[in-house]
A = this chain, B = another copy of it.
Amino acid sequence: MNINPKKISEPQLKEQEFSINHQKLIDATIETIAKRGLADTTIAQVAKKAMVSQGYANFRFKSKENLLLSSLKFLSDEYKNSWQRIFEDNNLDPVGRVIKIIENDFSSKIANRNKIAVWVSFYSEVKFRPSYLTICQKQDEIYSSQMEKLIKEVNFLTDQTFLTPREISETYLSMVDGLWQRILFDPKMYSHVFCKGLVKKYFRNIYIDEKRFL
């Protein structure tokens, strides 16, 4: 009766978060948003890319909204992990950490055009979906305060006193957001090399004796 044979069931797992299909759908969602935009992302397209039926995608995530939210959560966690790894590395001193953070923020894994497109899509809806805001805002607060603490350590080791740790940290984080957005417009001009160079020059100007910022 059926033309297309059904998928062979994957081994069942109690934690749905670890199900293959769960992750396949999230990956497909991110790819679809990156390729077509949030506005033109439909369950049908995502399901097709994940190679499951449309009905299944909805069944698994209860709703499209929930699928989108899960995808945002996934991206957010990925970023958090890469950041956390830098802070747990005991071989790094404060300046080394700052440099690693810059490298990470403009690495091809984090700052590629597809992922930025997804981030910006969600950002743009933040004002209208409290659930998006919660994730994005909480994320931001963590990075702000951790970065500020880190800069405080750097300041302590240098003779920089004009700019407060808060000011440096807020400036850096804003710059990153702004540069990410520009990567979307013009990825050639705003290459990773260019962006990293710009940010490092900012730090170099503050900590004029710290040769590592170059």
Q: Which residues of A approach B to under 8 Å, CB–CB?
A: 36-40, 113, 117, 120-121, 123-128, 133, 136-137, 140, 162-163, 167, 170-171, 173-179, 181-182, 184-186, 198, 201-202, 204-206, 208
Contact = CB atoms under 8 A, between A and B. Distances in A.
Nearest to A128: B37
A181 B37 contact: no
**What 3 pairs across the A-B complex have the smallest Cβ distances?**
A174-B178, A177-B178, A124-B124
21 contacts: A37-B127, A39-B39, A117-B124, A117-B127, A120-B124, A123-B124, A136-B185, A140-B182, A162-B204, A163-B201, A167-B201, A170-B198, A171-B175, A174-B178, A175-B178, A176-B178, A177-B177, A177-B181, A177-B182, A178-B178, A181-B181
Contacts of A178: 173-179, 181
The oligomer's copy count stands at 2
